Amino acid sequence: MLNSPTNRIWFVIPLYNEAAVIGRVVREVRQAGYQVVCVDDGSRDRSGFQADQAGAEVVTHPVNLGQGAALQTGIEYTLRRGALYIVTYDADGQHQLSDAEAMLNLCMEDNLGIVFGSRFLDHRTQPGRLKSIVLQFAAWFTSKSTGMNLSDAHNGLRVLRADAARGINLRHDRMAHATEIVRQIAATHLPWAEFPVHILYTDYSKAKGQSLWNSVNILVDLMAR
């Protein structure tokens, strides 16, 4: 049971051409009593409209600025609205609300600044051998560059306490923003933990960026940065 009012818990969902699934994702979170802001990052379909109809508050970027920029917009928006805890949550249906709630409970009960979701702390998620190797190398690279020993640095499911969220100022617009978040959290010296989560890979989520090729792009982006 969460020991914080759900109206002070916000889910931040970056949104780019997600009209096919975003309504279901938002409705599930809203029906559980949480606040939702979707940052429509220059979608060319009716994603923002579908999110609004499902009960989310929608902030719109007129052009696509990238996931890092969308997360930064959403974090700033929720802090202005008095959020105590912020959950970053993907729009493609790969995350599970039960995992997010378990992470929230851990964050509150252990007085943590941030909880990172990890698909590599148990065996429920099956990303494939090559994708696993690429993502685990990315986690190693991020750990070496930030001093935070994470098993899964590029998992979009995170719980941030408000003071941790205030320490985030994302400038990277592509996938390197995940390492940027870790680096900025490390600088706060707030306590943190990882939590095992089950990522649901579907044909849709793979098409939206969960392919092996996208994992390779993460590495290229990291090296370039």
Identify the band that residue 212 occupies on the pLDDT scale cut at 50, 70 and 90: very low
| pLDDT score of 224 more than 60 | no
Mean pLDDT (whole number) for 187-191: 95
Strands 85-88 vs 158-161: parallel, antiparallel or unpaired: antiparallel
Number of other CB atoms surrounding residue 7 within 10 Å: 13
Report DSSP state, residue 40.
E
Q: Pick from 153, 158, 20: which is nearest to 91 by CA?
A: 20
Domain locations in the chain?
A: 6-224
Q: Is 209 helix (H, G, I), strand (E, B) or coil?
A: helix
- Band of the pLDDT at 82, cuts 50, 70, 90? very high
Backbone angles phi, psi at 20, to 5 degrees: -65, -25
Cα distance between residue 48 and residue 41, in whole Å: 9
CATH of 6-224, picked from 3.40.50.720, 3.40.50.300, 3.90.550.10, 3.40.50.20, is 3.90.550.10
Backbone dihedral angles phi then psi of residue 4, each to the nearest 5 degrees: -135, 145
- What are the backbone angles phi and psi of residue 11, rounded to the nearest 5°? -100, 130
Q: How far is CA 108 from the centre of its chain?
A: 18
User: Which residue stretches of the chain are H helix?
Assistant: 22-31, 47-53, 67-80, 97-109, 129-146, 162-165, 177-188, 203-205, 212-224
Q: Please provide the average confidence, as pLDDT, over all residues in the chain.
A: 87
Q: Look-up: residue for tokens 């920029």?
A: 69
| pLDDT, tens only, 3-51 | 666 889 999 999 999 999 999 999 999 999 999 999 999 999 999 999 9
